[in-house]
Amino acid sequence: MPDSFRGAPDRGPNLARRRLLVVAAGGVAVGIGTVVGRGGARPVSAAENGPAREASPSASPSATRAPGGAATRKASPQPRPSTGQEGAGPAKVPAAGQPMYYLDDGPKVIALTIDDGPSPAYTPQVLQVLEKYGVLATFSMVGKNVSYYPAVAKDVAQAGHTIINHTWDHANLTSLSASHQRSEISRATDAIHAATDIRPRMFRAPYGAWSQRVLGYCAADELTPLDWSVDPRDWARPGVSKIVSAIMKTTKTGSIILEHDGGGNRSQTVAALKIAIPRLLDEGYRFAIP
């Protein structure tokens, strides 16, 4: 039975999300984002995580369409270093309200982000791998899952990793009313704070679906909008070797890698991280927090 999300947007396998971008002098401003799918939607399940829910389609952040429908290329986002949570310094919002797709922290510096947890099954396994190799990661947590598994979220924080807001219920914010969008973000922040005593300073939109309103909420709440630039599609469970190969082939200086510890069976992700992390370290990469 395929993984699925109750309440997740119903999309066919070939439906792709388009981002509407407005090119402005001196930069690129993200416009109202229509959903969804960097490379197509994926079904996901909470079966392995109890109540946990997640889905995160992917495609190259450089591909988009102009408002008139003609294909175009987006200028490379200008990354801005920022902090992930309260206590580590003020968050820095990227220029023109853009989500961050890349780091700008020197040669061979990359970031690892882990989405959709916490999961009592897979988050502890991911933590063990990260501890073995001395790597810090950013965990994008769903507020509802944090409320179910606060001890797991606390373990992540105590291990020194950064926890950021990934909405309350992994909602596609662009399909919700303004009040519902605000609630999704604020409830997740409250749940993370209750479990860890940390207020997240970054936000990742489910499905990578951004809009001007969502970016406005991020600015008002001093949440840096965080996206990604490497998606090995671990959520689709393509096999450990394919996940590892995708990471190694597409990672470069400044890459933000997307992986998952929630939303379904993430055993392939754990196995892939055991291989990819030491290989990246051997190639001279260093992991940083966005």
**How much of the chain is helix, strand and coil, in % rounded to 5?**
30, 20, 50
DSSP count for the chain of H helices, then E strands:
7, 11
Q: Are 146 and 118 in contact (CB under 8 A)?
A: yes
* Cβ-based neighbours of 64, under 8 Å, separated by 6 or more: 18, 19, 20, 21, 72, 73, 74
Residues identified as active-site = 115, 260
Cβ–Cβ contacts within 10 Å for residue 25, how many? 4
C-alpha closest to that of 206 among 33, 3, 75: 33
* Cβ-based neighbours of 10, under 8 Å, separated by 6 or more: none
